[in-house]
């Protein structure tokens, strides 16, 4: 049976879909998947062994330059690739009007969330099989439930398994010092952790003998990384990397500190001990999922005086001292255990 998965974006949403493929293949070993995904995230689905082919789509880019895209013939070729593949089933795991539209390219039965469960209820009109999934459930579990209903098996009660093929990532040489990756970039201003706090945490980590690595994805993030690392011998700004390159750096880390960003979900998928920092978002529904995850929520911290000038305000209460207390304990535990992968679950 050949199934097309439609989950086009964003990075975290794509990562959240991977455990559902693991469940499905374990229940039905003969299943094979293709995946329709935005071109910027096209590396990720191929890291799962159940995925045969990744079909990149560029709806975001096509919308920005519709005339040039039409002239290039790129959208038509993409639709033809999907239409002629002969899928037995399409699972729209996104629940948006645009994903339902793309799912129809396959001219095959479509399964998706019903109108009470989908992010955009009108999308459900495109589905032959409509699945009810509670909204007050973590995104990974919601997707696992959708796949189980669509493919006719009971969703496992065990924690989801991302099952990433680590051989797809380049090798990273590492020394004896503990490695910490700071994932400091995110798209929403109110989800940023204050830069002053990152600098203090970098000073604490490097003073304790750890190496701090800072990836970046655009010019603003590169400049922030350079300011955080400035003058600290143990802090290093990484070159610009592909997603596979970032995954390799995360895989080599003893610990990760991250704001609410797609790369934090990638760190969780790689089973890296991660301290995820939250302000306006709800980690119970969209937080990093897996073993070794610590969620620190700014709104749950006690009030501290002298923070009136800290921006964004939503993250001001989550001080570097609090984060270092968690990180220092995590690194000590990792070292005693002989590596991050040996640590038991710390919460999700």
State pLDDT tens for residues 268-310.
999 999 999 999 888 999 999 999 999 999 988 877 666 667 8
- Token pair of 260 as six digits: 């609410």
Q: Are 242 and 236 in contact (CB under 8 A)?
A: no
State pLDDT tens for residues 221-274.
999 999 999 999 999 999 999 999 999 999 999 999 999 999 999 999 999 999
Give the CATH architecture of domain 2-151. Answer: 3-Layer(aba) Sandwich (3.40)
**Of 183, 136, 140, 146, residue with least CA distance to 269:** 140
Determine the Cα–Cα distance for residues 330 and 340; give it in Å rounded to an integer: 9
Q: Please determine whether the domains at 2-151 and 173-342 fall in the same fold group of CATH.
A: yes
Given a cut of 80, whether residue 330 has pLDDT beyond it is yes
By percentage, how much of the chain surpasses pLDDT 70?
Answer: 95
Given a cut of 90, whether residue 318 has pLDDT beyond it is yes
pLDDT for the residue 311? 85
Domain boundaries, the chain: 2-151, 173-342
| Averaged pLDDT, 59-63 | 90
Q: For the domain 173-342, what is the CATH superfamily, name and number?
A: Glycogen Phosphorylase B; (3.40.50.2000)
Cβ-based neighbour number of residue 160 at 10 Å: 22
Collapse the DSSP code of 216 into the 3-class scheme (helix H, G, I; strand E, B; otherwise coil) and give the result: coil
| Averaged pLDDT, 191-216 | 97
Given a cut of 50, whether residue 343 has pLDDT beyond it is no
Given a cut of 50, whether residue 340 has pLDDT beyond it is no
Model confidence at 185, pLDDT cuts 50, 70, 90, reads: very high
DSSP 245: H
pLDDT for the residue 282? 84
Q: Which residues pair with 211 in a beta bridge?
A: 179
Torsion of CA 198, 200, 206, 209, to 10 degrees: -120
């Amino acid at each position: 049976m050949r199934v097309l998965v439609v989950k086009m974006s964003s990075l975290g949403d794509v990562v959240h879909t991977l455990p559902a493929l693991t469940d499905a293949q374990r229940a039905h070993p003969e299943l094979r998947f293709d995946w329709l995904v935005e071109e910027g995230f096209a590396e990720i689905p191929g890291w799962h062994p159940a995925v045969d082919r990744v079909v990149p789509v560029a709806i975001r880019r096509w919308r920005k330059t519709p005339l040039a895209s039409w002239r290039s013939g790129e959208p038509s070729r993409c639709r033809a690739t999907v239409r002629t593949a002969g899928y037995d089933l399409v699972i729209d795991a996104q629940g948006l009007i645009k994903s339902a539209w793309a799912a129809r390219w396959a001219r095959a039965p479509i399964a998706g969330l019903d109108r009470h469960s989908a992010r955009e209820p009108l999308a459900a009109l495109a589905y032959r099989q409509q699945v009810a999934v509670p909204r007050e459930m973590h995104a990974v579990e919601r997707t696992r439930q959708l796949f189980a209903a669509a493919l006719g098996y009971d969703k496992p009660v065990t924690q989801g398994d991302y099952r990433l093929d680590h051989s797809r990532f380049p090798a990273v040489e590492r020394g004896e010092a503990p490695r910490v990756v700071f994932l400091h970039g995110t798209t929403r201003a109110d989800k940023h952790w204050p830069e002053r706090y990152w600098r203090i945490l970098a000073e604490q980590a490097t003073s304790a003998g750890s190496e701090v690595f800072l990836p970046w994805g655009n010019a603003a993030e590169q400049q922030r990384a350079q300011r955080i690392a400035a003058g600290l011998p143990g802090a290093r700004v990484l070159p610009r990397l592909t997603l596979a390159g970032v995954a390799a750096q995360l895989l080599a880390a003893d610990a990760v500190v991250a704001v609410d960003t797609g790369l934090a979900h990638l760190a969780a998928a790689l089973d890296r001990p991660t301290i995820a920092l939250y302000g306006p978002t709800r980690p119970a529904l969209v937080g990093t999922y897996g073993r070794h995850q610590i969620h620190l929520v700014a709104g749950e911290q006690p009030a501290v005086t002298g923070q009136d000038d800290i921006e964004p305000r939503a993250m001001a209460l989550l001080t570097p001292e609090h984060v270092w207390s968690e990180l220092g304990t995590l690194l000590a535990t990792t070292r005693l255990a002989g590596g991050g992968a040996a640590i038991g679950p710390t919460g999700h």
